[in-house]
């Protein structure tokens, strides 16, 4: 049963990566193709259509090969130690992310070259619009994201399981304290991180460089509401999974059937939201409105390294809306943002190594 759980977990990530890679441009910001901003009147050019078709074929070929290789490696190592299995899973995730990034960069360069050769640009009409209601919505706002304070409410669950664990500490005299208390502590940390992450994400600078002003703002507000709901549901599901695992430890019963059920619910909800994001697009680019003009355009490709990494010394923004994919990214020219990003990655690595050390 544990082997099946490992295979399902890895393949769930693989399926997610295939869908996101295949529908890359559908989930990118409005006017963005492979990380390059293209004015509306050039978006239907045959060269772009041919490149996208070719890209999708390569996604299927590349990820199919990786999927077979990864699954064979896992199947032949199911009886290996937990450390070996963990390392295989980490390498699998890194491999898929690298494959996605390399393929993206190849087509980013192709589209960028096409734009330069064909001069797909506007000589005038190069503007930036700022709408403060996107960061601080009005009280009577129709399309409003969930308040970030809501993300602290689920913290009650891991705190309760921690208290429950402490109340039964006499049953764990011979057990390792780290293994006993880590799950509820991780749950508490997760809630705090989700609160901070949501606060930063919902207040990050929004891309208003494509589409008419009114429709662009309306799309962004609808998108922020959807993404806040997704983050809250993901938080609840993860916290419930942690709690079931901990209660199984505290009362010494097999919680695996319930864990598997929650994992299936998480997988299904993730796939549903991924499909929703692909349909509506990053920033709500695919949401149809009454007026569909292209009044806004700013040729800001030079601010995006390889179409993925935002680097603008003249922009004080801590985080900005991602150009490709869903969510936000940091401004790599902002030193504070980079330091926090590095610290977050370092913490994840430290916790992962610590877990592997104790489980091996």
Residue 137, pLDDT score: 57
Q: At what angle do helices 156-167 and 177-203 cross, to 10 degrees?
A: 170
Is 227 among the domain residues? yes
Please name every residue paired with 36 in a beta bridge, in sequence order, or none if there are none: 33
Is 239 among the domain residues? yes
Phi, psi of 308 (to 5 degrees): -120, -40
What tokens were used for 353?
A: 């190594």
**Total number of domains in the chain:** 1
Residue 255, pLDDT score: 84
Is 40 among the domain residues? no
The residue to which tokens 């370092």 are assigned: 346
Please compute the mean of the pLDDT values over residues 283-293 and round it to a whole number: 62
Please compute the mean of the pLDDT values over residues 238-254 and round it to a whole number: 87
The residue to which tokens 């399981």 are assigned: 161
Please compute the mean of the pLDDT values over residues 1-26 and round it to a whole number: 79
The residue to which tokens 């009280």 are assigned: 139
Residue 99, pLDDT score: 92
User: pLDDT by residue (tens digit) across 161-178?
Assistant: 989 988 887 777 656 666
What tokens were used for 131?
A: 């709408």
Is 329 among the domain residues? no
Is 97 among the domain residues? no
Give the Cβ contact number of residue 200 at 10 Å. Answer: 16
Nearest 10 degrees: CA dihedral of 324, 210, 279, 272?
50
Is 135 among the domain residues? yes
Is 320 among the domain residues? no
Is 77 among the domain residues? no
Task: pLDDT band for 1, please (50, 70, 90 cuts).
Answer: very low
User: pLDDT by residue (tens digit) across 97-149?
Assistant: 999 999 999 999 999 999 999 888 765 544 554 544 555 555 556 667 788 88
Asked if the model's pLDDT at residue 56 lies above 90, the reply is: yes
Task: pLDDT band for 197, please (50, 70, 90 cuts).
Answer: confident
**19 vs 6, more confident:** 19
Whether 81 contacts 159, CB under 8 Å: no
Domain span holding position 186: 128-298
């Amino acid at each position: 049963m544990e082997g099946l759980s490992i295979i399902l977990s890895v393949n769930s990530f693989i399926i997610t990566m295939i869908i996101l890679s295949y529908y890359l441009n559908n989930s990118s910001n409005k006017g963005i193709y492979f990380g390059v901003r293209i004015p509306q009147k050039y978006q239907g050019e045959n060269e772009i259509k041919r490149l996208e078709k070719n890209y999708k074929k390569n996604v299927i070929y590349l990820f199919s090969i990786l999927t077979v290789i990864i699954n064979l490696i896992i199947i032949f190592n199911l009886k290996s130690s937990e450390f070996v299995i963990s390392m295989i899973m980490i390498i699998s995730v890194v491999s898929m992310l690298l494959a996605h990034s390399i393929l993206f960069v190849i087509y980013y360069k192709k589209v960028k070259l096409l734009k330069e050769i064909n001069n797909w640009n506007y000589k005038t009409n190069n503007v930036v619009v700022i709408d403060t209601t996107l960061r601080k919505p009005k009280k009577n706002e129709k399309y409003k994201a969930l308040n970030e304070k809501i993300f602290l409410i689920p913290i009650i669950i891991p705190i309760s399981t921690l208290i429950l664990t402490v109340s039964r500490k006499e049953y764990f005299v011979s057990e390792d304290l780290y293994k006993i208390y880590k799950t509820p502590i991780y749950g508490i940390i997760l809630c705090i991180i989700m609160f901070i992450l949501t606060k930063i994400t919902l207040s990050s600078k929004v891309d208003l460089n494509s589409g008419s002003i009114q429709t662009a703002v309306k799309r962004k507000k609808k998108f922020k509401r959807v993404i806040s709901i997704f983050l809250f549901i993901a938080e609840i599901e993860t916290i419930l999974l942690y709690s079931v695992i901990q209660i199984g430890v505290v009362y010494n019963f097999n919680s695996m059937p319930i864990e598997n059920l929650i994992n299936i619910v998480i997988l299904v909800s993730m796939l549903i939201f991924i499909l929703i994001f692909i349909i509506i697009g990053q920033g709500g680019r695919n949401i149809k409105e009454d007026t569909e003009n292209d009044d806004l355009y700013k040729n800001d490709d030079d601010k995006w390294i390889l179409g993925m990494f935002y680097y603008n010394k003249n922009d004080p923004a801590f985080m900005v809306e991602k150009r490709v994919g869903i969510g936000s990214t940091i401004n790599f020219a902002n030193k504070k943002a980079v330091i926090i990003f590095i610290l977050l990655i370092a913490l994840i690595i430290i916790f992962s190594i610590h877990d592997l050390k104790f489980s091996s």
